[in-house]
Amino acid sequence: MNSPTPFQASAYSVSTQWRLQGALQHRRQLLATLVVGGLFSLLFKPSFAQTTLGPVGMVKTVAGQAFLELNGQRVPAVLGSLVYLGSRLVTASGSTLGITFKDETVMSIGPDTQLVIDQYLFAPREGKLSLIASLTRGTLNYVSGQIAKLRPDGVNVNTPTGMIGVRGTQFVVRVDPQ
């Protein structure tokens, strides 16, 4: 086996260093995102999270400007932000937001969207299974979780012109601004 020339060895070392620096930078960015998300949760918890039911979901993806509104407060959505019953999810132009709920339902909303979580009950042992949301504008990609599987008539998405009854599936809906 040929041993590497000094140039090849140094190129390997530089390449390895570059990859390690990139990994460290990625870890720092991830840590900073988690810290900021935690700070927002702590700062806004007393008034933003006033609910006896606790969080119903969590922000899993965010790109661009996205916000969570509850009890008259508006906070930026960041990875790990908690979503509560009554929350309004809002995205700006060119932005997206992905939420995963306790029952593994996934809702991804597109640009210029407003979606309100009107009702959320996930207590399978007690037979309490319900998810109702209202899409007033924008786009929603919905992927069913446990609620739709255990109680097919327990999930509805309301729009200004009608209601979508979910029966354990995936769909995309768009509501144009009035």
Any idea where the domains of the chain sit in the sequence? 45-175
Q: What is the pLDDT of residue 25?
A: 60
Which stretches of the chain are assigned E, i.e. beta strand? 55-63, 66-70, 73-76, 82-84, 88-91, 96-101, 106-109, 114-123, 128-143, 155-159, 162-166, 170-175
Q: What is the pLDDT of residue 178?
A: 73
Q: What is the pLDDT of residue 19?
A: 52
Tokens encoding 158: 């309301």
Residues 6+ apart with CB under 8 A from 34: 79, 80
β-strand pairing of 55-63 with 82-84: antiparallel
Q: What is the pLDDT along the chain (178 residues), one digit of tens a residue?
A: 555 444 334 444 444 455 555 555 655 555 555 555 554 554 444 344 444 468 999 999 999 999 999 999 999 999 999 999 999 999 999 999 999 999 999 999 999 999 999 999 999 999 999 999 999 999 999 999 999 999 989 999 999 988 888 776 889 999 998 7
Q: Tell me the pTM.
A: 0.70
The CA–CA distances, whole Å, from 77 to 19, 39, 47, 115 equal 30, 12, 16, 14
β-strand pairing of 96-101 with 106-109: antiparallel
Q: What is the pLDDT of residue 116?
A: 98
Q: What is the pLDDT of residue 142?
A: 95
Question: How would DSSP label each residue in 40-91?
Answer: HHHHHHHHHT--SS-EEEEEEEEESSEEEEETTEEEE--TT-EEETT-EEEE
DSSP conformational letter for 161: T
Contact 85, 111 (CB under 8 A): no
